Structure 1
Amino acid sequence: MKDLEIRPAAQDDIADIVAMLADDPLGAQRESPDDLTPYLTALERLSSDPHQHLVVAVRNGRVVGTLQLTIIPGLSRRGSTRSIIEGVRVHADERGSGLGTHLIEWAIAESRRQECQLVQLTSDITRTDAHRFYERLGFEATHVGFKLPL
């Protein structure tokens, strides 16, 4: 992965990020690549929060992957800090190349650097390939998740 750069996402990356978010059956239902306004607003919020790390993986000047890492200080687990990995996407042309592993390894290393004691993530129940991928990287399915749309 010598030709790969992982860096903070910039405004010019948003169209590529949203395209990757929308490039699967679930994302196609909830993302709107034709209107980037809400995504640009979200980028401003993320960029101003030191606990948020929206990054892109760039190869040969092209955005080929992304993820968001959130650092959460807490009281539970003896005042532990944890991180949450969200929105992991790899461009269709790059799947199977090891890029996803590299992105997750970056997130774990950054979590350690920020003195997190736990890294967690969620994955939609229908994404069985993703579940196998995360388990291969050492993650365990230990909890049941709940959501409440507002």
Structure 2
Amino acid sequence: MTIHVTDTRWVLPDGSRCRPSRARLEDVPALVRLLADDPLGSTREGEDMAAYERAFQEIDDDPHQFLTAVRNDAGGVVGTMQLTVIPGLSRGGARRLQVESVRVSSSLRSQGLGERMFTWAETVALASGCSLLQLTTDTSRPNAHRFYERLGYRPSHIGFKKQLQSPGPLSA
């Protein structure tokens, strides 16, 4: 099942307008800048655009993925989130929408854009047949935790990750 995306536009308190859309290959440098624009992201993101472009193509080719570029009226990318529909057997065969890599431009933070992005993601989840919306967030981001809890998300699980030393042939 592909992800069903609704067309929408938002007006922020400062009068600027934004809209979510499918990211394009030419958006990759702007998306990487957003990902790197915080203390944690600045330590994880790199300069090799070829690696990001390969990852973008894999995401873009998968009908269960929607890499979002939130654009302002000038066409600039001011936000992003990656949405993934995950089919599952648990919860009666429920589909879930995983939200990852959420970022809002530092110039637009605290203006309601993040909240609008999550409201839109919930609409996308429902239109895509999902009964659960889930996300992970790094333990070093307490401001993000407060934001997600304010939106109604609850810290219901403990997640674990293991960094692999050599990612294998598909990552190249």
Residue matched to 1:18? 32
For the aligned residue pairs, the C-alpha RMSD in angstroms reads 0.8
Q: Are 2:86 and 1:80 equivalent residues in the alignment?
A: no
**Percent of residue pairs identical:** 45
Shift of 1:121: 0.3
Query: What is the identity, as a one-letter code, of the residue corresponding to 1:56?
Result: A
Shift of 1:106: 1.2
Instruction: State the aligned residue count.
Output: 149
Q: Secondary structure at the match of 2:156?
A: coil
Q: Are 2:118 and 1:104 equivalent residues in the alignment?
A: yes
Q: Secondary structure at the match of 1:68?
A: strand
Query: What is the identity, as a one-letter code, of the residue corresponding to 2:119?
Result: E
- Larger RCO of the pair (alpha carbons < 8 Å, separation 6+): 2
Unmatched 5+ stretches in structure 2: 1-9, 12-16, 165-172
- Scaled by the length of structure 2, the TM-score of the pair is 0.85
Q: Deviations over 1:97-121 (max 9, x none)?
A: 1111111111111000011010100
Query: What is the identity, as a one-letter code, of the residue corresponding to 1:141?
Result: P
The 5 A counterparts of 1:40-119 are 40-60=53-73, 61-119=75-133
Q: Are 2:170 and 1:128 equivalent residues in the alignment?
A: no
- Scaled by the length of structure 1, the TM-score of the pair is 0.97
Is the radius of gyration larger for structure 1 or structure 2?
Answer: 2
Over 6 Å off, 4+ runs? none
Unmatched 5+ stretches in structure 1: none
Q: Secondary structure at the match of 2:130?
A: coil
The one of 147, 151, 158 aligned to 1:137 = 151
Shift of 1:80: 0.5
